[in-house]
Amino acid sequence: MHHELKFIKEEVEKRALNETDKEIIEKSILDGIETAWDRLYKQQPQCGFGLLGVCCNRCVLGPCRIDPFGGEPQRGVCGATSDLIVARNLLDTLATGAAAHSDHGREVLEVLLHTAEGKSQGYQITDEEKLKAVAEDYGIKIEGRTKEEIAKELAVAMLEEFGTLTHGIKFVDARVPEKTKQMWQKLSIVPRSVDREIVEAMHRVQMGVDSDYVNILLHALRTALSDGWGGSMMATDCSDILFGTPTPKTSIFNLSVLSKDKVNVILHGHNPILSEMIVKASEDPEILKLAEQKGAKGINLAGMCCTGNELLMRKGVPIAGTLLDQELAIVTGAVEAMIIDYQCIFPSITFTASCYHTKVISTSSKAKFPGAIHMEFNPGSAYDTAKQILRIAVENFPNRNPDRVKIPEKPMKVMAGFSEEVIRKALGGSYKPLIDLIVSGKIKGAVGIVGCNNPKIKMDYGHVTLAKELIKRDILVVETGCSAVACGKAGLLQPEAADIAGEGLRQVCKTLGIPPVLHMGSCVDCSRILVMASKIAKELGVGIEDLPLGGAAPEWYSQKAVSIGSYFVASGVYTVLGIPPTVMGSKNVVELLTDKIKGLTNSAFAVEPDPLKAADLLESEIIRKRKALGI
C-alpha cells in the first residue's frame, strides 16, 4: 500500500504542474478512472512511421509507408516519395483545422443573419460600434440604416465570402498591411475564399493531383490564411457584434471554481452561440426556483476550453480548465451536467461521466457522442432549449453523491478580456505609446503563446515556463486558448504577476494596472493578435513580417493548431512548436518550413520542446527584427 501511494504521487507529479489538477488526477487514479494519460501510456510505443509522417492511407493501392532509414521501400505504390507523403499529410491536417475554425465562424454568421432578420430567439446585436466598424471594412453603407439592416448585409457578405467568385476575402484587403500583402502576392498565396482553399486542399491530396511538395506547402499557407484572416476573424468579429467586444474583467480559474452547494454546469467546446444562451437562461427565475426545490443554492456555470474563454472574455464566467481538465472535472464528482458543442471534446467523456452522476449533453447535429443526451440547438428556439438543458442539470443535482465529491480549495484570480479594441483604447486610441516603449527597449517585443495541452508534456509546464521566461526578458506575452487558461491557473494573468517581469515591462504593467500576460480570447481569437499586429505595422509603415514578434505553441495537439501556426508564419511571425509536427520523415519539408521559408515570409517554424530554449529562440528572433528596424 505504501509503495502504491508513492507510485501514485510520482505519477501525479509527472502529469501536471498545477496543485488543483494534481489533487484530482490522484482521485482519478484512486477511483480507477482511465484518462488521456493512461490511454497515451497504452499507445506506447506510438507508430514510428506515423510520428515521422511517412505513412499514407489515402487510397487502397496502399496503405503505404516509407523506410525512414533510407532502405526499401522509398516510394508508395503510386510512386509517392516521403516528401510528397509528408507534405500531403500536413496539408490534409491543416485543412481540417482551417475547416473547423471556419465552419464555427459560419455558424456564428448564420445566427447574426437570423438575428438581423428577427428569426432567432434570445439573441440581439449587442455591439453596434463594432458592427459599424466591421461594416466599413466591407464597404457597407451605414448612414440612415438600422443596425439590423447593416447586420443583415454584413452577414450575407461574409457568408458569401466562404465561396466567393467575384472578389477575395475583404478582411485581407481592409486589414493586411500593404507590404505583407505584396509578399503573399509574390508567392501566389493570397486566399481567394474560405471554402475554396479547403476544398482545393482536399482536391490536391487526392492521389495523382499535386505531387510537388513545395507547391503543396504553399497551398497549405494559403489555406491557413483563409482561416486566420477569413473564417476565424469572422467568427471573432461577429461574436463580438452579437455578444459584445470583450473588456477587462476579473474572474477565477481552475477546478476549485466548482461549487459545493450549487448545480455545477460545465460549458465545453468552442462556439459561444449556445453557451451565451445558457448564461442567460441560468438567471431565469423558473430555473432558479427549480434549483432551490432540488436543494441547490443556485446554478454555477464554469467554462472549459474555448467555450470557456469566450464566456470569460465577455461575461467573466469562471473557467474550470483546459483540454486535459475535461475528464478531471467529471472526476470531482461535483458536475451535474457537461454541455458540449464541438471541437476538443474527448470521445471518452461520456464513458467517464457514466462512472459518476454527470450528464453529458450534446447540442450540435455535427457532433454527437454515444452515451450523451442530445438536445439539438437551433437559433430559432435557443432560449427554450437552453432552459430545457439547464432543467436536466438541475434535476440531476440530488443524484450527486457527497461521499464521492472532491473539490480543490484555492481558485486563482485572473484578469482577462483584452480585445484588440480595449488594448488600443487603453493606449489612447493608437499604438504610438506601445511603439515608443518598444523603440525605447522597455518592451523588447511581443510573443503570442497559443494552443492546447498535450499529455506528452507535463500539463501547463510548457506554457507557464515559457511565459515566465519571456516576461522576465521584457517581452510582452499575449495568449489565447488553453495556453491562456494554463497561465491563468498559474497566476500569470493578474497585475501582480508583473513583479516577476523584467524591469521595463514591470514598470509598464504597473503604470497601466495590467498583467504582463494578456488573455486575448479563444483559439479563433488568434485573429485578434493578427489585427493588433497589422495595426501596429500600419502605424509604422512596415509589414507584419518586420515587427519584433513571435509565436509559440508549447503543448499543441490539434489540427487547428497547425492552421494557426501556419497563418502566423505566413503572416511573418516566427513560431516555435513544443511538440514536433509529423513531418520529420521528410528532410526537404523540414528544411523548407524551418529554414528556406525565411526568404519568403521573413519567418519560419522551429521545434523546441524545452521552453527555456524556446525563449532563447524567440528572443534572438525579436532582436534580429529590432536590428533590421534600426532600433
Interface positions with ligand SF4 (CB under 6 A): 56-59, 61-64, 76-78, 80, 85, 207
| Closest distance of CB 75 from ligand SF4, Å | 8
C-alpha separations of 569 from 240, 477, 576, 604 in Å: 26, 17, 10, 6
The interface region with ligand XCC, picked from 68-76, 170-178, 556-564, 602-610 by CB under 6 A, is 556-564
Least separation in angstroms between residue 607's CB and ligand SF4 is: 25
* 558 is a site residue for ligand XCC (CB under 6 A): yes
Residue 482 contact partner, candidates ligand SF4, ligand XCC, none, CB within 5 to 8 A by sort of partner:
ligand XCC
> What does the alpha-carbon distance between residue 445 and residue 183 come to, in Å, rounded to a whole number?
22
Residue with smaller CB distance to ligand SF4, 80 or 530: 80
Alpha-carbon distance of 553 to 452, in angstroms, equals 8
Tally of CB atoms within 10 A around 370: 8
Planar angle of CA 271, 276, 279, nearest 5 degrees: 135
Q: What, of ligand XCC, ligand SF4, none, does residue 451 touch, CB below 5 to 8 Å by kind?
A: ligand XCC
Q: How many CB atoms lie within 10 A of CB 546?
A: 18
Q: Does residue 523 bind ligand XCC (CB under 6 A)?
A: yes
Work out how close the CB of 523 gets to ligand XCC at its nearest, in angstroms, rounded to a whole number: 3
Which contiguous run of DSSP H or E holds residue 338?
strand 337-340
**What is the helix (H) or strand (E) element at residue 570, kind and residue range?**
helix 559-570
d(CA 450, CA 530): 13
323 binds, among ligand XCC, ligand SF4, none (CB under 5 to 8 A by kind): ligand XCC
| Partner from ligand XCC, ligand SF4, none binding residue 359, C-beta < 5-8 Å depending on class | none
**For residue 63, cis peptide bond before it (omega within 30 degrees of 0):** yes
Q: Give the single-character DSSP code of 323.
A: G
- 593 near ligand XCC, rule: CB under 6 A: no
**Closest CB to ligand SF4 among 73 and 380?**
73
Give least dist CB 233 to ligand XCC, A.
15
- Report, in Å, the least distance between residue 481 CB and ligand XCC: 3
Could you give the angle at which helices 82-116 and 232-243 cross, rounded to 10 degrees? 20
**Sign of torsion, CA 420 526 532 505?**
positive
| Single residue of 130, 175, 560, 625 touching ligand XCC by CB under 6 A | 560
Q: Which is nearer to ligand SF4, 72 or 503 (CB)?
A: 72
Please select the residue that binds ligand XCC; options are 54, 55, 273, 306, rule is CB under 6 A: 306
CB proximity list for 112: less than 8 A, separation 6 or greater: 125, 151, 154, 155, 238, 241, 242
DSSP assignment letter at 479: E
- Give the cell for residue 178: 500593404
344 binds ligand XCC (CB under 6 A): yes
Which of these segments, 210-218, 310-318, 553-561, 578-586, binds ligand XCC (CB under 6 A)?
Answer: 553-561
For position 482 contacting ligand XCC by CB under 6 A, the verdict is: yes
**For residue 576, which of 628, 629, 620 has the smallest C-alpha distance?**
620
Task: Check if the beta carbon of residue 520 is closer than 8 Å to that of residue 415.
Answer: no
Nearest-approach distance from CB 557 to ligand XCC, in angstroms: 6
Find the shortest distance in angstroms from Cβ 57 to ligand SF4: 6
Interaction between residue 396 and ligand XCC (CB under 6 A): no
Nearest approach in angstroms of CB 544 to ligand SF4 is 36
Residue 59's binding partner among ligand XCC, ligand SF4, none (Cβ under 5 to 8 angstroms by kind) is ligand SF4
Mode of pairing for the β-strands spanning 373-374 and 319-321: unpaired
Q: d(Cα 179, Cα 8) in Å, to the nearest integer?
A: 55
Helix (H) or strand (E) segment spanning residue 302: strand 299-304
Closer to ligand XCC by Cβ: residue 313 or 437 = 313
Q: How many residues does the chain have?
A: 631
452 lines the binding site for ligand XCC (CB under 6 A): yes
Residue 481 as a binder of ligand XCC (CB under 6 A): the answer is yes
Q: How far is the CB of 490 from ligand XCC (least distance, A)?
A: 16
Q: For binding to ligand XCC (CB under 6 A), which residues are involved?
A: 305-306, 322-323, 344, 451-452, 481-482, 522-523, 558, 560-561
